[in-house]
Copies of this chain bind each other. A is one copy, B any other.
Amino acid sequence: MFKVKVYITLRENVLDPQGAAVKSSLHSMSYESVSDVRIGKYMELTIEKNNRDIDEIVKEMCERLLANTVIEDYRYEIEEVVAL
């Protein structure tokens, strides 16, 4: 079994209106030292072992469904969990 953590972020040159809204809220709550906020997604997947390479599966799932690669970047961490 694998525990996979996927981080999806907007590409650097893509506007982030949600981040801008959070930044403005933080300013209005007097956290003026916050100069930038970018909001992305974080996913935790549990994947059972099968005959395909786990790295290949995760990459393919990111490209095909989890991330919109036109505007988003992704990175992931795979950890194998051994059942006792």
Contacts and interface: CB of A to CB of B under 8 A. Distances in A.
A68 to B, nearest CB: 13
A13 interface: no
Contact of A35 (B22, B25, B33, B46): B46
A15 interface: no
A34 B45 contact: yes
Interface in A2-59: 7-9, 19, 22, 25-26, 29, 31, 33-50, 57
How many chain copies does the complex carry?
2
A61 interface: yes
Given A29-B64, A42-B9, A34 B47 contact: yes
A30 to B, nearest CB: 11
A70 interface: no
Return the 4 tightest CB-CB contacts between A and B, nearest first: A36-B46, A42-B42, A40-B42, A33-B48
